[in-house]
Structure 1
Amino acid sequence: MNNWTPNRILALVLGIVFTLVGILGFFVTSTMTPNYLFGFGVDVIHNIIHLVIGLVGLAAALTASGVWSRRYNQVFGIIYFVLGIAGLIPALHFGMMGDMRLLGITFVNGADNVLHLVVGIVMIAVGFFVRGTDTGNDSYRPTPTA
């Protein structure tokens, strides 16, 4: 595991952060009722999403060669960027009995939207434009020994 590219480092850092945020979120809300963690809106769905994305990031960063980390940054960068944009469109917030949720699924607030945009932009920039020593393919090829 000596091939620590910028993509791999970002996937590892975000994997750790998302996993911890997912776990900590359950301490402030254990129901679908929205609450706040460090000023960011969370609910059970939000926590589960963070846990899954965090664990996928850890898995991508800790694969034998780390080539999946680039794909992780690309895919989730696009997803986070789109969610950040969607969060800014009031028509996409709806729910039952005044409980406004993004796409009717999870609670987000302005801080979430800004963070989603920033994380998305960083992941897209690193995932698409920073290669480091990535091989560019998704298969592990061990280095031949003499």
Structure 2
Amino acid sequence: MAHDTQVASSTLLQKAALAVAATFALVGVLGFIPGITTNYDQMEFIGHHSGAELLGIFAVSVLHNLVHLAFGIVGFVLAKSFDGARAYLIGGGIIYLVLTVYGLVVDRHDDANFVPLNAADNWLHLVLGIGMIALGLLLGNRSEHRNVGRAV
């Protein structure tokens, strides 16, 4: 029953962080499934030469998939606390905005593009960054945290 109490006392912020973490973990796993990832046989461990694309849209490599999995695992761990969930969403959002800028500045075919990024990745990273920061700020209100478990 302790699990039920823990779930019931989770804040909306923590639930949002868990949902984001689960999405990252799922994307990381899907990146390793042929068919869901097109040109699977062209997947490289690292670098811009990887021809694999998740859903035929987003450039991926083994490293890229592992980063998604790691980002998901970190989110699962940090979502256990209110402050951790907020840090995961806001900090992760900042990381994805930086990654967006990196993807826009570094040419897709440049050796500096160590995690394959294409235009679809850049747009997705921009949306993820803004969305994660928005969730962290909007749901990270301390008053919500203090009111968890109180009768309305």
User: What TM-score do you get using the length of structure 2 for normalisation?
Assistant: 0.73
1:5 CA displacement: 2.6
Identify unmatched segments of 5+ residues in structure 2: 1-5
Bigger helix share: 2
1:126 CA displacement: 1.8
Summarize the alignment of residues 5-16 of structure 1 with structure 2, pairs less than 5 Å apart.
Answer: 5-16=11-22
Distance 1:6 1:85 in 2: 30
Structure 1 counterpart of 2:120, one-letter code? A
Tell whether the 8 Å contact from 1:43 to 1:106 is kept in structure 2 after alignment.
yes
1:18 maps to 24
Distance 2:101 2:9 in 1: 34
Distance 2:30 2:66 in 1: 11
Distance 1:78 1:12 in 2: 18
Return the match for 2:63 from 32, 41, 45. 45
The two structures, once aligned, show a CA RMSD in angstroms of: 2.2
Identify unmatched segments of 5+ residues in structure 1: 136-142
1:128 CA displacement: 2.6
1:54 CA displacement: 0.7
1:11 CA displacement: 1.1
Structure 1 counterpart of 2:137, one-letter code? F
User: What TM-score do you get using the length of structure 1 for normalisation?
Assistant: 0.75
Q: Deviations over 1:31-88 (max 9, x none)?
A: 3323111211111110011010011111222x2x443111101111100011112212
1:58 maps to 76
2:52 maps to 35
Q: 1:105 to 1:5 in 2, by over 3 A?
A: same
Mapped pair 1:67 → 2:64: no
Distance 1:70 1:77 in 2: 10
Structure 2 counterpart of 1:14, one-letter code? V
Structure 2 counterpart of 1:121, one-letter code? I
Distance 2:72 2:110 in 1: 25
1:140 maps to none
Number of residue-to-residue matches in the alignment: 127
1:139 maps to none
